[in-house]
Amino acid sequence: MMEQSNVRRRQLPSLTHLIFGSRLLIGLVILFSAGTMYFASSVEAAGIDLGVTAQKAWDSVLNKADAQTKLTLKQAYDKVGNWKAQEQVWEQKIKTLHAANTAELERLRVEIRQTDDAKVAALAEKVKQIQARYEPLFALYSSVNRQLDAAKAIKNKEWSAAIRTQSEALRPVVKLAREDIRIKKKELAEARKRKSAEIKRLRAMLAGADSAKKQIQTAKKQASLAKERYSKALQQFKQSTKQSQTSRVLSSLNTLASVAEKWAGTKQSIHTLEQNVSTTYVKVRQEIAKRPK
């Protein structure tokens, strides 16, 4: 009995892990299923928005039609609903991707503006430090030269000779110090030049998305026109259901389906263009990432 109890205790952790893992897996499946069902229900719900009165008129048309005509009408109606659903799906995708592109553009602009800031700041600090280091030497050299001028002015040969010796001894040291500063300043100037060139290059890459953005604006105008056509076609469909003429109802449904298809197509085109913008931003991001830190 004791031995069986020990075996059960040893099995308990593995069983607990198995149960927990199974629950986690089931939870993920439920979450995924819920998301799928939500997406599916969203698509299904995005049919033709008729309103109460028009819906009754449509139901009346269906009830009066024979079986084959009823099936044809329903198929045409479902076709419109499917295109309308696709239009809404594309619209949501556009909003999501556009928001991501807008946020990424802002981040990229900031990072491009800050290109090589650390390098330039470090070199600028070096120039500042080296100038401060040599300042006493330059002050001494200036003082000695002023004394030399004063000695010459009073025509004191001994004093002039002594001061000249000091000045000549300091001259090569001062020359080296100035050369050191010149080199550091040149490095700083070149770093600033490289920074400007790189910023210009990256901004030019970023501007590569401008063409797609202009096309998006054009496509949005087309989508607005398609929406207006859809609204007019929908009104014609509603009007035809009031007249209860099956042929007109079917004709108006086919027209509505064609308009809805074009509307969904414009939205898909806008999404494709937003993807082009995103692709450009990815390339810029990769270029920034390749730069040495």
Spell 247-278 as b/e; 16+ CB within 10 A means b.
ebbbebbebbbbbbbbbbbbbbbbbebbebbb
Phi first, then psi: what are they for 158, rounded to 5°?
-65, -45
Average pLDDT, the chain: 84
Interval 107-129 mean pLDDT: 96
CB–CB of 160/148 below 8 Å?
A: yes
247-270 confidence digits (pLDDT tens):
898 999 999 999 999 999 999 999
Confidence (pLDDT) at 47? 62
Question: What pTM was computed for the model?
Answer: 0.72
214-260 confidence digits (pLDDT tens):
999 999 999 999 999 999 999 998 888 888 788 898 999 999 999 99
Interval 93-114 mean pLDDT: 97
Taking the C-alpha atoms of residue 193 and residue 188, their distance in angstroms, rounded to an integer, is 9
CB–CB of 144/163 below 8 Å?
A: yes
Taking the C-alpha atoms of residue 79 and residue 233, their distance in angstroms, rounded to an integer, is 14
